Structure formats: structure tokens, C-alpha cells
Amino acid sequence: MTDEQLLTSVQEAVFRYFWDYGHPVSGLAREGYELGHSTDTCASGGTGMGLMAMCVGAERGFVTRTQAAGRVLQILTFLEESAARYHGAWPHWLNGATGETKPFSTYDDGGDLVETAYVIQGMLTVRQYFDDPNDPVESEIRDRATRMWEQVEWNWYRQSPYSPVLYWHWSPNHGWQMNHAVTGYNECMITYLLAIASPTHSIPAACYYNGWASSEDYANGNTYYDYVQAVGPEMGGPLFFTHYSHLGFDPRDKSDAFCNYFENSRNISLINRAYCIENPGGYAGYSDLLWGLTASFNPWGYGAQSPTSDNGTISPTAALSAMPYVPEESLATLKAFYYTYGEDLWGPFGFFDAFNLTEDWFAPGYIAIDQGPIVIMIENYRTQLCWNLFMANPEIQPMLNAIGFTSP
């Protein structure tokens, strides 16, 4: 296989997670496969990623455009007409057959604003992709996506009209009891970008710096392994921090007061790789080809692996979803996963969620939020498809101007 053929085959296998394993009633992305989740448990954030994957699948011919549009409309119709919403926001987990909330934890049984941001990121992407004015299915996709985008009450999730900070959760049963402020640096940047961009329930642009970037440890400025890290926790944290908000939001050629987030994500990816090459924990397999620490399943359950929280578990989504940032390193690692470890690591929907050679363990399944970034970010590396679609939404550039993003 050529490199291009290999990339396409990996993308198609991962796409099949959302296409073949999507919930039969709603089309929503199931939370996981063979990892102990109920088959009715669906993930709102994973579903948003699945919507973006449908654009990739149609563009690459894994399914026809008509087939993809039909599935997207099925998902949007369910999210609008059947799924629980709380001031416009969906819960973290939904029953894919009924739309009822499946509590994520005791007090987290209502709206999840961060997961909702991933849904909207996906909706705005499909709204741009399915643009045929003469196709009734595509027209309905655009209409439904626009309605739901305009129904999310981002400003309500501030708790008070004077709060500069958004809050992650609200529940009709428990109110603000979770009390989890959304501040960076982590995977949540897209939540603030969309809240500021909202045409109907926006928050002030000042909340970007006074809320999202307000933490005293947002800025970093340290050098690790000869790479400067402008923002984020020590050595970058789990790599999904650099993926989830940049599935649609293109970080290239734009900077806020802190940094250019493409360069920051590139350096965090290289720091993660350099840490694995140094391998201070002495774990089996770590090398310039086997790297990538992020949140995933591990031999003991589930955890957020990173250079400061390492247990020998490598997650394919980490290096593969970094492909736009570090294409040479990422592609070399993809080939090692496939050709060297494929017998144990490759399954029905691509590479299994994670593996740990020290423990001689390979995950038996998948989770949606690790699958989605692989197909989307490989495509952003290859053609910038999802970046171009999302950024073409008319609400995006005025939001960037209001925050004060600058381009060179």
C-alpha cells in the first residue's frame, strides 16, 4: 500500500465506527464498543464528531453523499425532536433509542455545555458541507442545524449575568451543584468560541480572556525537550487537549494574546513524543515510533495519560490525531502501529483504543471520542476539509475579530 492508500484505509475503518455501529434508532454515536457500555448509551460529543466524519465519508466515497445526508438528517432530527435538552444543551450521555438523559454521574444528569459545543462544532460543519439549495434533505439539514445552534443558551450557563466564566453543567434536579467552571488550558476552547459567536445567546467577547484564559496557569512559557510551550499544563497534558477544539476551528495563521495555537499544539505533540523517547518510566515499547499519551482505556480502567501521568499506555488516537501538527512523525507512527503491531492492534473499526506492552495488554474495543478525531484530523492534514467547512460559517470570523485574534 502507498501512504495515501494506508491513510484512506485507516480513515474508512474508523468511519465505520460511526456508520456501521451508529445507534440503529437515532444514528447517534455509541459511547463505546466492547468496553462495558450499554449499546443504548450514546455520547453527545462523540455524535458531534460523527457528524464531521460523515462529511469525510461522503467526500472520500466511503458512502454516497445521499447516504451521508440521510444519516446526518436522521441524527439531527433525533437531536431536535427526541433528545433531552437543558436550556438548549444536551447531556453528556443519551439513550440512543429514547433520547432520555443517561446520568454521567450523580449530579451530572442535565446539560453538558462542553459536550454540546462538540455537537454544535459538528452541526456547523455539516451545515456548510450539505449546501445544495435544490436538495430537500440537504436543505432540512441546514435548517435543523441552524435552529439548534440558535437554541443553545450559552449565556445562561454563566450562572449569573455578571460571571465571566461559563459553567460546564446544569441539572433541573441538582441545579449548579457540579459547579465546574470551564477554564483553560484544556479541550474546552471551542466552548468559549461558540458561546461568543452565538447569534442568539452569546456571551461577551471579554469572557475569552476573563473566563477561558483567566487561570494563572493558563500561560506556560517553559521549554521541554527543546520545545517552547506557550500555554497549557506541564508538558502539555493529555494530547486530546490539542485535538477536540481544533477538529473544526483551524488554528493556523491566527494568534491570540498568548500564542498561535497551531504552533503550540505542534510543540505539545513533539514534547509528548520526546517524553516517550526518553521514557523515564522505563516502559516497554516506547520509542520515536511508539508514542502518544492521552485519555483512553488502560489495563486498570480509564485514565488521562500524559507525560506527568504515565503508566505505559499508548493510545493510537494521540499520535494519529496530531497528524496536521506533526505529519512526518505521525505517519511514521501510524505505519508502526499497522505493520508492526497490527495483528494485535487492528480490529473492526481500525486501531483499538489503547495498548500497554509492559502489561502485554491491548484494549478489546473503542470509544467514540477517541475514534472521531482520527478520521477528522487525518482529513484536516490531507485536505483541510473540516477546518475549511467550519471556518466558512459566517459567525466565525466576527467572533475572532471580537476576541482580538490577529493574523500575520
What is the per-residue pLDDT across 120-172, written as a single tens digit (0 to 9) for each? 999 999 999 999 999 999 999 999 999 999 999 999 999 999 999 999 999 99
Residue with cell 476539509: 385
Q: pTM (2 decimals)?
A: 0.98
Alpha helices in 92-240 (DSSP H): 113-129, 136-151, 189-197, 207
Tell me the C-alpha to C-alpha distance, in Å, between residue 177 and each of 105, 180, 198: 12, 8, 26
The pLDDT tens digits for 367-404 are 999 999 999 999 999 999 999 999 999 999 999 999 99
User: What contacts 406, CB < 8 A, 6 or more positions away?
Assistant: 254, 255
Q: Which three cell numbers stand for residue 278?
A: 526518553
Strands 227-231, 181-182: pairing kind: unpaired
pLDDT of residue 165: 98
pLDDT of residue 321: 99
Radius of gyration of the chain (CA): 20
3-state secondary structure 262-299: HHHHHHHHHHHHHHHHHCCCCCCCCCCCCCCCCEEEEC
CA-based nearest residue to 267, from 326, 324, 323:
326
Q: Which H helix or E strand runs over 242?
A: none
E strand map for 272-397: 295-298, 301-304, 346-347, 350-351, 355-356, 361-362, 366-367
Do 127 and 393 meet the contact criterion of CB atoms below 8 Å apart? yes
Residue 61's φ and ψ, nearest 5 degrees, are 80, 20
Alpha helices in 153-225 (DSSP H): 189-197, 207
Per DSSP, the three-state class of 308 is coil
pLDDT of residue 357: 99
Residue 304's φ and ψ, nearest 5 degrees, are -100, 90
* C-alpha triplet 237, 387, 317: angle, nearest 5°: 40
Q: Which H helix or E strand runs over 6?
A: helix 3-19
Say if residue 70 is exposed, middle or buried (CB neighbours under 10 Å; 0-12, 13-18, 19+). middle
User: What residue type is assigned to position 303 of the chain?
Assistant: G
> Is 3.40.50.720 the CATH classification of the domain at 3-403?
no
User: What residue type is assigned to position 181 of the chain?
Assistant: A
The pLDDT tens digits for 111-128 are 999 999 999 999 999 999
Do 242 and 322 meet the contact criterion of CB atoms below 8 Å apart? yes
Asked whether residue 408 carries a pLDDT value surpassing 90, the answer given is no
pLDDT of residue 351: 99
CA-based nearest residue to 127, from 142, 143, 147:
142
The pLDDT tens digits for 204-226 are 999 999 999 999 999 999 999 99
How much is the mean pLDDT over the chain? 98
User: What contacts 136, CB < 8 A, 6 or more positions away?
Assistant: none
